[in-house]
Amino acid sequence: MSELAERARPDARANFDLKDEIRDYWSKRSETFDLAFGHRIPHGPEFDAWQKPVRDFLGAKPLRVLELACGTGEVTRLIHDLGHDVTALDFSEAMLAVAGKKHAGKPRLRFLLADAENTMEPDERYDAIVCRHLVWTLTQPQATLGEWFRLLKPGGKLLVFDGDWAKPTTVGRLATWAIRQIDRVIGPDNHYDGALSDRHATIMQNLPFGEGLTAETLLPMLKLAGFGTIERTSHRPIAAAQRKTANLRNCLRTFVYRRFILCAHKPG
Ligand SMILES: C[S@@+](CC[C@H](N)C(=O)[O-])C[C@H]1O[C@@H](n2cnc3c(N)ncnc32)[C@H](O)[C@@H]1O
């Protein structure tokens, strides 16, 4: 190719924006995502602990629930097994393929390939929206909260599980130091951070919540989007349940970041 032709060639990366980068990153992690501590939710005390806030906030009546960023379908199972109708959405085909295999043939569950920031779903279609570890990675968080408000019926609920993945707590810094010592002795856990961690760091730098997401940041944004009452519960029982079966390195991981669980209500 001549130098001129080379320069005129459309640059495939020119249209590859932050969201494409996020999708590509998660797609590459789809096959091993469940192997990283804290992602898969094993049956037993940990499953019960994750499911409790879903049961408490959504109630006993079967609902139409939208799960955003379902990934490999772990949270999907929590919601589905409580008797709800679930639409599990993700924008990564690779993630949906893993989730689809796990949950094949369940009549109350449908998968949807779509962008959580612009779902194209009808107004007021859902009684509840649930998402774990999505909000921190939104590229347009305020507009997206408005989108989720639009999708909820009056009286509907948005349940968010998330955390501040940028700033470890004080105890978390000590735990991180101890994890590094264990890594040095027995070798790193490739599935936890893995070879893609530099890429993760680059994505973080470009995100609106790249400096960390806290409940205190999210609360006024939820209010601005129109939500009324906002309830909060602790992640601690989940971490305690994880520690019952985790090895030492993973026990330490449960102390690193500050996590939160919020339930925002759309006025009825
Ligand atoms: C950290 S994983 C969490 C997966 C799942 N919620 C869980 O907790 O196991 C992030 C997921 O969000 C998805 N995701 C990120 N941004 C998204 C968007 N704008 N629309 C749909 N899915 C998105 C990724 O494809 C990935 O599956």
Instruction: Give the residue carrying structure tokens 């994880």.
Output: 242
Measured in angstroms, how far is the CA atom of residue 71 from the centroid of ligand 1?
5
Q: How far apart, in whole angstroms, are the C-alpha atoms of residue 71 and residue 69?
A: 5
Beta bridge partners of 89: 68, 112
Beta bridge partners of 261: 161, 233
Pocket test for ligand 1, best of 21, 111, 134 (most atoms within 8 A of CB): 134
Alpha helices, H only, 152-214: 170-186, 197-205
Measured in angstroms, how far is the CA atom of residue 181 from the centroid of ligand 1?
31
pTM (predicted TM-score): 0.93
Q: Is-contact 223 261, C-beta < 8 A? A: no
Q: Where are the domains of the chain?
A: 18-265
Measured in angstroms, how far is the CA atom of residue 3 from the centroid of ligand 1?
41
Q: Does ligand 1 have an atom closer than 6 angstroms to the CB of 98?
A: no
What class does CATH assign to 18-265?
Answer: alpha beta
Q: Which atom of ligand 1 is nearest to the CA of 19?
A: 19
Measured in angstroms, how far is the CA atom of residue 236 from the centroid of ligand 1?
23
pLDDT at 267: 98
pLDDT at 1: 41
Q: Does ligand 1 have an atom closer than 6 angstroms to the CB of 67?
A: no
Q: How far apart, in whole angstroms, are the C-alpha atoms of residue 196 and residue 26?
A: 10
Q: Which helix (H) or strand (E) holds 57?
A: helix 45-58
Beta bridge partners of 262: 160, 232
Measured in angstroms, how far is the CA atom of residue 179 from the centroid of ligand 1?
26
Strand order in the sheet with 64-68: 109-113, 85-90, 64-68, 126-132, 152-164, 258-265, 230-233
Measured in angstroms, how far is the CA atom of residue 134 from the centroid of ligand 1?
5
pLDDT at 4: 43
Q: Does ligand 1 have an atom closer than 6 angstroms to the CB of 257?
A: no
Measured in angstroms, how far is the CA atom of residue 135 from the centroid of ligand 1?
9
Q: Does ligand 1 have an atom closer than 6 angstroms to the CB of 266?
A: no
pLDDT at 188: 86
Residue nearest to atom 23 of ligand 1 (CA): 69
pLDDT tens track, the chain, 268 positions: 444 444 444 444 555 699 999 999 999 999 999 999 999 999 999 999 999 999 999 999 999 999 999 999 999 999 999 999 999 999 999 999 999 999 999 999 999 999 999 999 999 999 999 999 999 999 999 999 999 999 999 999 999 999 999 999 999 999 999 999 999 999 988 777 655 678 888 899 999 999 999 999 999 999 999 999 999 999 999 999 999 999 999 999 999 999 999 999 999 9
pLDDT at 181: 95
pLDDT at 189: 84
CA 38 vs CA 35, 46, 101: distances in Å:
9, 10, 20
